[in-house]
Amino acid sequence: MAVDRSCRFADMLEVSLQGKESVEGKVVVGTVVGIKNDKVVVDVGLKSEGRLPLSDVKALIGADDVAIGDKLGVFVERFEDRNGEPILSIEKAKKEAVWKDLERRLESGETVEGVITGRTKGGFSVDIDGTSAFLPGSQVDLRIVKDISPLLNLKQPFKILKMGKLKNNIVISRRAVLEAERNEAKGEIISKLKEGMVTTGIVKNITDYGVFVDIGGIDGLLHVTDMSWKRVSAPSDLVKVGDSIQVQVIKFNKDSGRVSLGMKQLVKTPWENVEKKYIVGEKYKGKVVNIMEYGVFVELEPCIEGMIFITELSWLRKGIVPNKVVNIGDEIDVMVLEVNPEKRKINLGLKQCQENPWKLFAEQHPVGTKLEGVVKNITEFGIFVGVNDILDGMVHMSDLSWTDGSHGSKPANFEKGQKIDVIVLSVNPEKERISLGIKQLIDDPHAEAVQNMKNGEIVVAEVKEIRLAGVEVTLSNGLLGFIKRADISSDKLKQRSDTLAVGEKVEAIVLNVDKSRKANLSVKALEIQREKEALRQFGSADSGASLGDILGAALQKKDEK
């Protein structure tokens, strides 16, 4: 019984004969009319029959026998040879059928099945039903594949990217198939994803700040701080690209699709009961593991680190450079200042394990001790003096001189680097302050004058300097004084500094003498006092009459007499 074999190679081809010229280079349907000497004689409607090797026909059509009357799809290479017979090819007919099928799949987006047979320049060669296609190296997988041997000689799906008939060029992709499968599974994965769940993923990419992990079609970020309880210098120290790792979903945002992963959460935290291990105020040994501008990280034990802020590195407050105090790898003694298990933070101190230089200075230099220092800085309120290699004390303006009462300007007669003698007035280790004096090196020349001066005493003062706030004056006993602008006169219109001149002498009442031995005076108070005395002398102070009224009345009486 005759069998139609044409469908095996040309079921999607137009195989009708439309003229002798149109046959050449095309696939047509022929009929087996004879088998002679291992040749199959095929009639394709031309003046002569063509011949095909019997073995080729059996192999290509996948049949053990060929019978007369069978229909075969054949490719007409030439209209006729020198013997007048057409040259036919069943293999080319099959390739043509495959090509047409591939073009259809390219249009429809369907996948094709093929086998990776070997490596070529820039990629790999793939056999698709006897037709060779090119698989670029970038299209093999979703990630870089170093060893492709497991994929060789394995029938698997590919997506056609482009085809070129003239160059017989077919470019395919395995990656596109995998991406489609992953996207299809992505929705299902998202619906199942929950915070706290543990899953397995593949390390896809490594950065300085963490690792991107593929958890079945979704990329999650495993931040470096969530890789281990101990300090991780570089993520690549723990994982490599392609590693399969177990992670926990820490945070998942359905709207943005962002997934945060963790590894350290899968093991018991070493911070449990840490406050019982490290007691505030106690000293412990640690190892310097990192140095920053703002402080130093110290490892107390594996996975437990504490922080020494820059202010706790040294008793000195200014110009501290952490890497000049300690080096990475140093074993140091530290004191626990604060423990916060919730935030997993331990604040440490280094200076607390060293002798407090302020306390030591106070012990070695009691109040009244005289010493030599170096002027370090000069300010409007005093001078800073270096009393040893690390500590500075301050001489306040009021402690510079018994006689110089200048205010609002920098102290004169001092220069940076100048060596001067000072006396210790007080030391406060808690506030880290040392108060020094210079004038106390000599006896107070005005001690007797200050002692004898009483509040309310009337004195004569000479204007020394005029200021916006008032005038500086000197008293006959050598003391300095100051008259505020509001105390210059009882008349508000005359309460101005410029109503007095340098060198002018005025009478005033002593209000008080301050700690700097300066007398605060008032002309206004003296004028009011004298006005009241006049009122008592010429009339009742309670009558409500002014001094002018009383004087006028007195003159009128005199005239009447």
For 173-185, give the DSSP string: ESHHHHHHHHHHH
Q: At 549, is the pLDDT very low, low, confident or very high (cuts 50, 70, 90)? A: low
- Give CATH superfamily name and number for 7-96: Nucleic acid-binding proteins (2.40.50.140)
pLDDT at 87: 81
User: In this structure, what token pair is assigned to residue 82?
Assistant: 């020198």
Q: How many CA atoms lie within 13 A of 311 on its CB side?
A: 2
Where along the chain do the CATH 2.40.50.140 domains lie? 7-96, 109-178, 193-266, 276-353, 357-441, 452-530
Q: At 13, is the pLDDT very low, low, confident or very high (cuts 50, 70, 90)? A: very low
DSSP 3-state assignment of 486?
helix
Residue 133's DSSP bridge partners are 126
Q: Examine the pLDDT at 351 and tell me if it is beyond 70.
A: yes
State percent of the chain over pLDDT 70.
Answer: 88
Q: Which residues contact 7 (CB under 8 A, 6 or more apart)?
A: 73
Q: Examine the pLDDT at 8 and tell me if it is beyond 50.
A: no
Q: At 448, is the pLDDT very low, low, confident or very high (cuts 50, 70, 90)? A: confident
Q: Which CATH architecture has domain 109-178?
A: Beta Barrel (2.40)
Question: Which CATH code fits 193-266?
Answer: 2.40.50.140
Topology of 452-530 in CATH?
OB fold (Dihydrolipoamide Acetyltransferase, E2P) (2.40.50)
d(CA 217, CA 182): 5
Segment 513-535 shows an average pLDDT of: 86
Segment 46-66 shows an average pLDDT of: 74
Sequence letter at residue 535: L
Could you read off the pLDDT of 114-134 as tens digits, one per residue?
999 999 998 999 998 888 899
pLDDT at 12: 41
pLDDT at 559: 60
User: Shortest CA distance to 245 belongs to which of 209, 210, 207, 198?
Assistant: 198
Burial of 63: CB neighbours in 10 Å, binned 0-12, 13-18, 19+: middle
Q: Examine the pLDDT at 15 and tell me if it is beyond 80.
A: no
Dihedral sign, CA of 496, 497, 498, 501?
A: positive
The structure tokens 């300066």 sit at 518
Average pLDDT for the chain: 84
Segment 400-422 shows an average pLDDT of: 76
d(CA 431, CA 438): 22
pLDDT at 181: 81
Dihedral sign, CA of 402, 408, 411, 412?
A: negative
Q: At 156, is the pLDDT very low, low, confident or very high (cuts 50, 70, 90)? A: very high
d(CA 471, CA 519): 12
Q: At 44, is the pLDDT very low, low, confident or very high (cuts 50, 70, 90)? A: confident
Q: At 329, is the pLDDT very low, low, confident or very high (cuts 50, 70, 90)? A: very high
d(CA 142, CA 157): 14
d(CA 224, CA 236): 10
Sequence letter at residue 276: K
User: In this structure, what token pair is assigned to residue 442?
Assistant: 């000599």
d(CA 416, CA 434): 19
d(CA 215, CA 296): 37
Q: Examine the pLDDT at 17 and tell me if it is beyond 50.
A: no
Angstrom distances, CA of residue 496 to CA of 124, 218, 362, 383, 501: 100, 82, 48, 33, 11
Segment 220-241 shows an average pLDDT of: 90
Q: Examine the pLDDT at 407 and tell me if it is beyond 50.
A: no
- Give CATH superfamily name and number for 357-441: Nucleic acid-binding proteins (2.40.50.140)
pLDDT at 306: 94
d(CA 226, CA 15): 67
Segment 7-23 shows an average pLDDT of: 48
Segment 339-345 shows an average pLDDT of: 90
State percent of the chain over pLDDT 90.
Answer: 40
Q: Which CATH architecture has domain 276-353?
A: Beta Barrel (2.40)
pLDDT at 253: 84
**Cβ atoms 17, 44 nearer than 8 A:** yes
CB count within 10 Å of CB 59 equals 12
Segment 325-342 shows an average pLDDT of: 94
Dihedral sign, CA of 247, 249, 250, 253?
A: positive
User: Shortest CA distance to 53 belongs to which of 41, 43, 63, 71?
Assistant: 41
- Distance from chain centroid for Cα 442: 59
Segment 497-506 shows an average pLDDT of: 89
Q: In what order do the strands lie in the sheet with 87-89?
A: 50-53, 39-43, 27-36, 71-78, 87-89
